[in-house]
């Protein structure tokens, strides 16, 4: 039973949606599932762009066979070698023994690592800017290393003005039949949160490389973006929207002015201090405020928030003379993912020997573009200076409202 849909008259979506997977990369929660996208171009020659995860292999091959309608497969183009997109390469080649694999040298090296060395007669090696004619469709290949693996390339259909973008411009979640972004509410908070959480946790470390790839893409006339996860982007306003978000995220620029709190609280006193500061910020006219208990909130959601807003407040308790483990885990992940260009305020709590403020600051001192807002606020058990809290609220509110510098 097939589940295909035409992208254009000659291009068929043959990917599969997986609502059963709990954790993407065995790490990131999938409340709405995930799509494994693959595309088939039907011309004088046929070309399949990427495969799928092995867990959805049966459905995938039913889709491919239905779309081919008895035709042979001439080319398998491999844009990305991560197993959720490459796991079925071996089976594709077994089912379609005349198909050539089209990709770059790094990809062929990885195919050998995952499977075996392909014989020369089954390889079509391409370099940056090379072209392949399928008949009416003319394909070009543009490398996008470290977005987010070293072998990644984009395939550009010059005829249809479509860029197949590997993992770039992807979104967590299933499309549920609405293949195109304009069929979804792609500006809704939940959708944008999933897009941001995908980018920041999967690609976020590689902002400079993403910028390089976007500069290449900007030289092309693009009518449609076809990523390996999430919807196809085809309307001009939607293309501008997702490209704008990627531009901001990869420059480590906040989407919005606002304040997000990340805190841990063992017995509720740090939680109470966070509530107090939130209320004071509300009184000062700050409207975009969120607060997350790092013990309860899964880390990938916290990382997404770090990219979203201008100002971050970290309230951490001293624990075993160090940092509370969940707070330290978040700071380690922020550093690993190159979070930068943030305005940071710090609150520490310690009943007899507060250490968490100093230890959190050590992490932020190792990150780029960190601006500290206000003085460190120290809580001893449940006691803190009202004057110090008021000054911190003033400093944060002033920072959020501050005119953006050129």
HEC per residue, 35-53: EECCEEEECCCEEEECCCC
For residues 233 and 261, membership in a common domain is answered with: no
Domain boundary residue among 194, 227, 250?
A: 250
pLDDT at 122 over 50: yes
Task: Over range 112-118, report the average pLDDT.
Answer: 95
Cα–Cα dist 314/345, whole Å: 6
Per-residue pLDDT band for 8 (boundaries 50, 70, 90) equals very high
Helix (H) or strand (E) holding 178: none
pLDDT digits (tens, 9 = 90+) for 354-380: 999 999 999 999 999 999 999 999 999
Q: Are 203 and 228 in contact (CB under 8 A)?
A: no
Structural domain containing residue 285: 256-400
pLDDT at 135 over 60: yes
Residue 57 domain-assigned?
Answer: yes
Strands (E), 150-304: 153-157, 162-164, 224-226, 256-263, 289-293
Cα–Cα dist 141/130, whole Å: 6
Task: Over range 27-40, report the average pLDDT.
Answer: 96
pLDDT at 38 over 80: yes
For residue 61, give the 3-state DSSP assignment. Answer: helix
For residues 239 and 352, membership in a common domain is answered with: no
pLDDT at 290 over 50: yes
pLDDT value, residue 289: 97
Q: Note the pTM of the prediction, 2 decimals.
A: 0.93
Q: What is the CATH number of the domain that holds 246?
A: 3.60.15.10
Q: Please give the share of the chain, as a percent, with pLDDT higher than 70.
A: 99
Task: Over range 134-147, report the average pLDDT.
Answer: 97
Domain boundary residue among 250, 269, 284?
A: 250
Q: Are 198 and 260 in contact (CB under 8 A)?
A: no
How far does the chain reach from its first CA to its final CA, in angstroms? 56
Task: Over range 302-323, report the average pLDDT.
Answer: 96
For residue 305, give the 3-state DSSP assignment. Answer: helix
For residues 245 and 340, membership in a common domain is answered with: no
For residues 200 and 85, membership in a common domain is answered with: yes
pLDDT value, residue 316: 96
Domain boundary residue among 197, 226, 250?
A: 250
Q: Please give the share of the chain, as a percent, with pLDDT higher than 90.
A: 97
pLDDT value, residue 315: 97
Judge residue 47's burial from the number of C-beta atoms within 10 Å of its C-beta, 0-12 exposed, 13-18 middle, 19 or more buried: buried
Residue 18 domain-assigned?
Answer: yes
pLDDT value, residue 97: 96
Q: What is the CATH number of the domain that holds 366?
A: 3.40.50.360
pLDDT digits (tens, 9 = 90+) for 209-224: 999 999 999 999 999 9
Residue 304 domain-assigned?
Answer: yes
Residue 76 domain-assigned?
Answer: yes
For residues 383 and 299, membership in a common domain is answered with: yes
For residues 208 and 305, membership in a common domain is answered with: no
Cα–Cα dist 142/213, whole Å: 9
For residues 374 and 241, membership in a common domain is answered with: no
For residues 151 and 273, membership in a common domain is answered with: no
Which of 370 and 352 is assigned the larger pLDDT?
A: 370
Strand-pairing partners, residue 372, are 344
For residues 272 and 243, membership in a common domain is answered with: no
Q: How many domains does the chain divide into?
A: 2
Per-residue pLDDT band for 406 (boundaries 50, 70, 90) equals very low
pLDDT at 255 over 60: yes
pLDDT at 81 over 70: yes
Q: Nearest 5 degrees, angle CA 397-CA 339-CA 53?
A: 130
pLDDT value, residue 281: 98
For residues 273 and 223, membership in a common domain is answered with: no
Residue 141 domain-assigned?
Answer: yes
For residues 24 and 149, membership in a common domain is answered with: yes
Residue 405 domain-assigned?
Answer: no
Residue 406 domain-assigned?
Answer: no
Name the average pLDDT for the chain. 96
Residue 352 domain-assigned?
Answer: yes
Per-residue pLDDT band for 320 (boundaries 50, 70, 90) equals very high
Strand-pairing partners, residue 48, are 40, 76
Helix (H) or strand (E) holding 276: helix 269-283
pLDDT at 257 over 80: yes
pLDDT value, residue 403: 66
pLDDT at 405 over 80: no
For residues 136 and 93, membership in a common domain is answered with: yes
């Amino acid at each position: 039973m097939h589940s295909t849909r035409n992208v254009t008259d000659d291009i068929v979506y043959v990917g599969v949606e997986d609502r059963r997977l709990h954790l993407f990369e065995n790490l990131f929660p999938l409340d709405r599932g995930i799509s494994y996208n693959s595309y088939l171009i039907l011309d004088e020659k046929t070309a399949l762009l990427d495969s799928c995860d092995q867990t959805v292999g049966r459905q995938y091959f039913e889709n491919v066979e239905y779309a081919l309608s008895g035709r042979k497969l001439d080319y398998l183009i491999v844009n990305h070698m991560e197993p959720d997109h490459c796991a079925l390469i071996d089976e594709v080649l077994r089912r379609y023994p005349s198909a050539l694999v089209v990709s770059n040298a790094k990809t062929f090296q990885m195919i050998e690592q995952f499977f075996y060395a392909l014989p020369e007669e089954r390889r079509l090696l391409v370099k940056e800017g090379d072209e392949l004619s399928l008949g009416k469709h003319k394909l070009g290949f543009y490398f996008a290393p470290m977005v987010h693996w070293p072998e990644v390339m984009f395939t550009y259909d010059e005829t249809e003005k479509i860029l197949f973008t590997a993992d770039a411009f992807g979104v967590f979640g299933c499309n549920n039949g609405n293949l195109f972004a304009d069929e979804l509410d792609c500006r809704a908070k939940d959708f944008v949160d999933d897009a941001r959480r995908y980018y920041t946790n999967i690609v976020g470390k590689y902002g400079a490389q993403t910028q390089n790839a976007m500069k290449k893409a900007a030289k092309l006339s693009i009518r449609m973006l076809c990523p390996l996860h999430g919807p196809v982007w085809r309307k001009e306003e939607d293309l501008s929207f997702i490209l704008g978000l990627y531009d901001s995220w990869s420059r480590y620029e906040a989407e919005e002015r606002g304040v997000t709190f990340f805190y841990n609280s063992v017995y509720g006193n740090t939680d109470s201090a966070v509530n107090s500061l939130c209320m004071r910020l509300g009184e000062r006219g700050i409207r975009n405020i969120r607060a997350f208990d790092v013990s309860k909130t899964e880390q990938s959601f916290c990382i997404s928030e770090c990219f979203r807003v201008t100002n971050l407040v970290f309230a951490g308790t001293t624990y075993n003379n160090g940092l509370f483990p969940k707070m330290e885990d978040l700071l380690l992940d922020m550093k690993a993912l190159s979070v930068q260009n943030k305005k940071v305020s710090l609150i520490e709590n310690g009943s007899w020997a507060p250490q968490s403020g100093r230890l959190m600051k050590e992490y932020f001192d190792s990150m780029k573009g960190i601006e500290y807002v206000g003085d460190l606020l120290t809580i001893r058990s449940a006691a803190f200076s009202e004057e110090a809290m008021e000054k911190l609220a003033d400093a944060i509110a002033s920072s959020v409202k501050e005119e953006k510098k050129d």
